[in-house]
Amino acid sequence: MQGAGSTVAPVPLSEIFSSIQGEGPYVGCRHLFIRFTGCNLSCRYCDTPRGEPPGCRVEVKPGTGSFVTIPNPLTPEEVAVLISGVDLGKYHAVSLTGGEPLLYPDFLRELIPLLRGARRGIYLETNGTLFGALESLLHLVDVIAMDVKLPSATGMQPLWEEHGRFLKAARKKEVFLKAVVVKGTPLDEVAVAAGMAEAAGVPLILQPVTAGEPGRLPAPGELLWLQSKALEVARDVRVIPQVHRFCGMR
Ligand code: SF4
């Protein structure tokens, strides 16, 4: 069933909240996060609950941990109403995150124009595989935080071809690559990611795994060795952990 005023099917959302961006080159920037449910991948380190939540948790006041739950699914207009009290002019961006937001291209096409007002615009956090959906939405997105999934970290088969096609489209906008690394991530995997970043002229962020797998956290020496080797391939390789966790933020 479609909602009043909407031409697309409503979708289930997981949560809407304010926080700092905790990953990548924009760490510390104030973002409004809209978290979608569902994903086409299954990374071993994933901390996103599976299944469709009955309601979307909407934060009442930034950082207080106080939420109200709105029944799912939601239309783009209903999402816009839920964030209408947020002063987006103080925000670096509205972050579309997941799960995988690009599972819902039709919904995003209607939602994104309702989210304007943040200083840098729309920030898409994506697993970097659904290139067809990205191409159809590229004109609506401002910054793309694209994962490169390393098999040693995800436990999945390589996705180099999908990532390559995705990056070919994404590089028309501001984009950076983010690869989660674990203890024992082989150099050849990082080298492929570095090669992709260098070919596209974009930064590569190596993010040590944190979610749920403390035993797999690479040692400082291992991280710096991977970075050093990657810098032989690409000119901009940074090691950035998830910083929001250091101050108890979501
Ligand atoms: S791409 Fe992200 S949401 Fe999907 S399984 Fe991997 S970590 Fe989880």
The helix or strand, by DSSP H or E, that contains position 192, with its residue range, turns out to be helix 187-200
Helices (H) and strands (E) in the chain, counts: 7, 10
Q: Specify whether the backbone of 24 is left (phi greater than 0), alpha (psi in -120 to 50) or beta.
A: left
221-248 residue pLDDT tens: 999 999 999 999 999 999 999 988 877 7
Residue 39 Cβ < 6 Å to ligand 1: yes
Sequence spans of domains, the chain: 13-243
- Write the burial class of residue 64 (CB in 10 Å: 0-12 exposed, 13-18 middle, 19+ buried): exposed
Tokens for 33?
A: 């996060």
Query: To test ligand 1's pocket by mutation, which of 13, 23, 96, 100 has the most ligand atoms within 8 angstroms of CB?
Result: 100
Nearest Cα to Cα of residue 199 among 236, 225, 224: 236
Residue 48 Cβ < 6 Å to ligand 1: yes
Instruction: Please tell me the distance between residue 100's alpha carbon and the centre of ligand 1 in angstroms.
Output: 7
Residue 30 sits at the vertex; the CA angle it makes with 100 and 87, to the nearest 5 degrees, is: 100
Query: To test ligand 1's pocket by mutation, which of 13, 33, 40, 41 has the most ligand atoms within 8 angstroms of CB?
Result: 41
**What is the β-pairing status of strands 67-71 and 55-59?**
antiparallel
| Residues linked to residue 238 through DSSP beta bridges, in sequence order | 205
Nearest Cα to Cα of residue 31 among 159, 137, 122, 156: 122
Fold of 13-243: TIM Barrel (3.20.20)
Any idea which residue has 């002229």 for tokens? 201
| Residues linked to residue 18 through DSSP beta bridges, in sequence order | 32
**What percent of the chain is predicted at pLDDT more than 90?**
88
Q: Which residue has its alpha carbon closest to ligand 1 atom 3?
A: 99
The helix or strand, by DSSP H or E, that contains position 181, with its residue range, turns out to be strand 174-181
> pLDDT-based confidence at 6, cuts 50/70/90?
confident
Residue 100 Cβ < 6 Å to ligand 1: yes
Looking from the CA of 4 toward its CB, the CA atoms found within 13 Å total 0
CB distance 89 to 119 below 8 Å:
yes
CB distance 74 to 13 below 8 Å:
yes
Query: What's the predicted TM-score (pTM) here?
Result: 0.95
User: Does the structure show a pLDDT above 70 at 95?
Assistant: yes
Instruction: Please tell me the distance between residue 112's alpha carbon and the centre of ligand 1 in angstroms.
Output: 22
Tokens for 97?
A: 């995150």
User: Does the structure show a pLDDT above 70 at 58?
Assistant: yes
116-150 residue pLDDT tens: 999 999 999 999 999 999 999 999 999 999 999 99
pLDDT number for residue 249: 77
Please name the residues in contact with 221: beta carbons below 8 A apart, sequence gap of 6 or more.
Answer: none
Residue 127 Cβ < 6 Å to ligand 1: yes
Nearest Cα to Cα of residue 49 among 35, 33, 37: 37
